[in-house]
Structure 1
Amino acid sequence: MSRAIGWLLVIALLLCLVVPGFIAFRVWHVARVDDRTTADAIVVLGAAQYDGVPTPVFQSRLEHAATLYEEGVAPQIITVGGNQPGDRFTEAGAGRAYLTELGVPPTAILAVETGTNTVGSLDAVALTVRDQGGGSVVLVSDPTHSYRSRMMARDAGLDAWTSPTRQGPAVWTRENQILSIIRETGAVLWYQYHRIVGTDVDFPG
């Protein structure tokens, strides 16, 4: 019996090492993908804004989305994200205003001002895109966020691929990138756990 328990412990230990290692590799691998296939919409994942002004991280995502729009990747940009208690502006609204400053026509921007995390925002986007008769999106976020956001978008029923920004604080240093991979590995494990047990995902990012 003791030998069987020992082998079970070894297997459990290996799983604890292999599974996170595989997910970390997937986070790193998808972060390197820049897929600009034509889609129904470009979706900019929200980030912090202060009194209507996007943070540098958010600005980097929005500027990349504007470039994709100019290249004809999609006829519409969707900004997402609600607001925190006390905020006068939503992430989606701040993103829409910034995109208009970049020269994107207001008629080509749709703000989905719901959701306090990625999965909530993407569920709302999926409903919006389907209501418009579409089904495909290009997701714009930071590189290491791409794997999880793509997984969530596909779970919501969208044909989703990723074109992450390559500028901004999230990608400035190797240390930032490594820390982001570690954080995203934990976030993916958390999401997968909640999906398996059938509970709501409350991870903040």
Structure 2
Amino acid sequence: MMRFAIKSVGIIVALFLLLMNYAAFSIWSFSNENQLVKTDAAVVLGAAIWDGTPSPVFAERINHAIWLYQHDYVNFLIFTGGKGDGEQYSEAEVARQYAIEQGIESEAILTEEVSTITEENLEQALLVSAQEPIESYAIVSDPLHMKRAMMMADDLGMEAHSSPTQTSAYTSWSSQAPFLARETLFYVGYMLVKPFR
């Protein structure tokens, strides 16, 4: 009985590691899937702000969305993200101000300021865009975040296209490896709980 239990545990561990490796490969392979098609709006997934300004990671997401707008790939920018601990402003409001300073018209910007995680970013983006002529979306985030974000967007019924930042702050392997490990855990966790939602 003990040998059977040990063998069973070993099989479970091996299967879990196989799943993790497959997920990591899938995330990495999808990371540069840049679907440059015309959509109604770019949804910029929230990221950290530092003392009222976008962090380098967030700034690159905003910059990419601005590029999409300026090159007529989208008609609206939707900035997402609430207030972090100790922050005076929400991520979305900081992004909005940053975009306006780059010459984007305020009428082309929508914001939601309550979300704290990726799935909430997307859910709230759907809500704030409901009163506008918006039916299709370009999802903007860092390349290694795109696989999970696109799966969530699909589960929400969004007509969504992947548009990762082309100038991510995560460029070296030393910065990419922890991000990939984190994303792999979150991606596998989401897949495992999804059937029970």
TM (norm. structure 1) is: 0.87
Q: Which residue number in structure 2 is paired with residue 115 of structure 1?
A: 115
Q: Percent identity?
A: 34
Match of 2:178 in 1: 179
SS of residue matched to 1:77: strand
Contact 2:111 2:128 in 1 (8 A): no
Task: Give the equivalent residue in structure 2 for 1:125.
Answer: 125
Task: Find the aligned partners of 1:194 and 1:174 in 2 and give their Cα distance.
Answer: 30
Q: Is the 8 A contact 1:52 1:93 kept in 2?
A: no
Contact 2:77 2:108 in 1 (8 A): yes
Gaps of 5+ in 2: none
Against the structure 1 CA distance between its residues 5 and 82, is the aligned structure 2 distance closer, same or farther, given a 3 Å change threshold? same
* Structure 2 CA distance for partners of 1:131 and 1:8, relative to 1, 3 Å: farther
Deviation of 1:155 after TM superposition, in Å, equals 1.4
* 1:132 CA displacement: 2.7
Alignment correspondent of 2:18: 18
Gaps of 5+ in 1: 199-205
* Aligned residue in 2 for 1:191: 190
Output the CA distance in 2 between the equivalents of 1:69 and 1:87.
28
Structure-2 residue corresponding to 1:201: none
How many angstroms does 1:156 deviate by?
1.6
- Give 2:58's aligned amino acid: F
Shift of 1:34: 0.9
Q: Normalization by structure 2: what TM-score?
A: 0.90
Q: Give 1:96's aligned residue.
A: 96
Q: Deviations over 1:170-190 (max 9, x none)?
A: 2x2122122211110001122
Asked if the contact 2:44–2:79 (Cα under 8 Å) also holds between the matched residues in 1, the reply is yes
Superposed, which structure 2 residues align to 1:1-205 within 5 Å?
8-9=8-9, 11-170=11-170, 172-198=171-197
Q: CA deviation at 1:84?
A: 2.0
Distance 1:6 1:48, change over 3 A: closer
Q: Any idea what SS the aligned residue of 1:169 has?
A: coil
Paired residues in the alignment total 197
